[in-house]
């Protein structure tokens, strides 16, 4: 792959990876420990990811269990969960925190699918903007370094990469939508 193309390929890959990480945080009626990825707990004055202050497990399909390594962290972890947009109230028994996920209503599932599609569309827009930036960069090169035929080849290759990423986004969003709609 041409070095000029690989730069834009890498940017598109980053946009796709970001979208995938965003999709992982959308809960689909099942307990997914990734919804805690963005949560930070106050650990001796330092915001620290929950996964770094305790064991996060999924003992049952609709329960996440957090066992902090220090019992004193239970209140801080609960506070972080309540302040987040997860929408689940934690319960604790003094040693572990449990998050019980309720069954999703049909309406909520449809809302989540819309959110997935929105994130997919945002990623596609980002990919297309990267393609546009690439095409602009190639046109600037035309004035000095390369011929118009080479520019057309570079633009065609960039379009193929763009099409591949748009297709990958559609596949990922379709899979997540199917996961959400599965009861």
- Determine what percent of the chain is predicted with pLDDT higher than 70: 97
Please check whether residues 109 and 155 belong to one and the same domain.
yes
CATH code of the domain covering residue 176: 1.10.132.20
**Alpha-carbon distances of 107 from 8, 31, 58, 103, 180, rounded to whole Å:** 39, 19, 26, 12, 11
Please check whether residues 54 and 89 belong to one and the same domain.
yes
Among the three residues 100, 134, 156, which one is the final residue of a domain in this structure? Answer: 100
Please check whether residues 119 and 177 belong to one and the same domain.
yes
CATH code of the domain covering residue 52: 3.30.1360.40
- Arithmetic mean of pLDDT over the chain: 86
Please check whether residues 156 and 139 belong to one and the same domain.
yes
Among the three residues 49, 83, 100, which one is the final residue of a domain in this structure? Answer: 100
pLDDT for 181 = 82
| 37 vs 19: which has the higher pLDDT | 19
pLDDT in tens, 136-153: 888 887 777 778 888 888
CB 9 within 8 A of CB 161: yes
Please check whether residues 110 and 96 belong to one and the same domain.
no
pLDDT for 132 = 93
Confidence of residue 162 (pLDDT cuts 50, 70, 90): very high
Please check whether residues 149 and 83 belong to one and the same domain.
no
pLDDT for 164 = 94
| 167 vs 101: which has the higher pLDDT | 167
Among the three residues 43, 70, 100, which one is the final residue of a domain in this structure? Answer: 100
Please check whether residues 15 and 70 belong to one and the same domain.
no
Please check whether residues 60 and 94 belong to one and the same domain.
yes
Is 183's pLDDT higher than 70? no
Please check whether residues 131 and 171 belong to one and the same domain.
yes
pTM attached to this predicted model: 0.71
Please check whether residues 56 and 13 belong to one and the same domain.
no
Structure tokens at 40: 């930070």
Domain that includes residue 110, residue range:
3-24+105-181
pLDDT for 46 = 86
pLDDT in tens, 60-114: 888 889 898 888 888 888 888 888 877 788 888 888 888 888 787 888 888 889 9
- Number of domains within the chain: 2
pLDDT for 3 = 78
For residues 99 and 56, give the distance between their C-alpha atoms in angstroms, rounded to a whole number.
11
pLDDT for 1 = 63
Please check whether residues 85 and 111 belong to one and the same domain.
no
What sign for the dihedral angle of Cα 138, 139, 144, 145?
positive
Please check whether residues 109 and 20 belong to one and the same domain.
yes
């Amino acid at each position: 792959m041409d070095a000029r193309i690989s730069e834009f390929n890498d940017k598109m890959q980053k946009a796709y990876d970001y979208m995938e990480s965003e999709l992982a945080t959308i809960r689909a009626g099942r307990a997914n420990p990734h919804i805690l990825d963005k949560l930070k707990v106050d650990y001796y004055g330092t915001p620290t990811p929950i996964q770094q202050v305790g064991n996060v497990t999924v003992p049952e399909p609709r329960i996440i269990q957090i066992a902090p390594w220090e019992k004193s962290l239970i209140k801080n972890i609960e506070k972080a969960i309540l302040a987040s947009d997860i929408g689940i109230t934690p319960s604790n028994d003094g040693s572990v925190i449990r998050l019980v996920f309720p069954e999703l209503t049909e309406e909520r599932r449809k809302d989540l699918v819309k959110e997935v599609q929105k994130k997919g569309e945002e990623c596609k827009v980002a990919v297309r903007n990267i393609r546009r930036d690439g095409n602009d960069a190639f046109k600037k090169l035309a004035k000095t370094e390369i011929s118009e035929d080479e520019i057309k080849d570079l633009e065609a290759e960039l379009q193929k990469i763009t099409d591949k990423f748009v297709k990958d986004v559609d596949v990922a969003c379709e899979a997540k939508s199917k996961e959400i709609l599965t009861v």
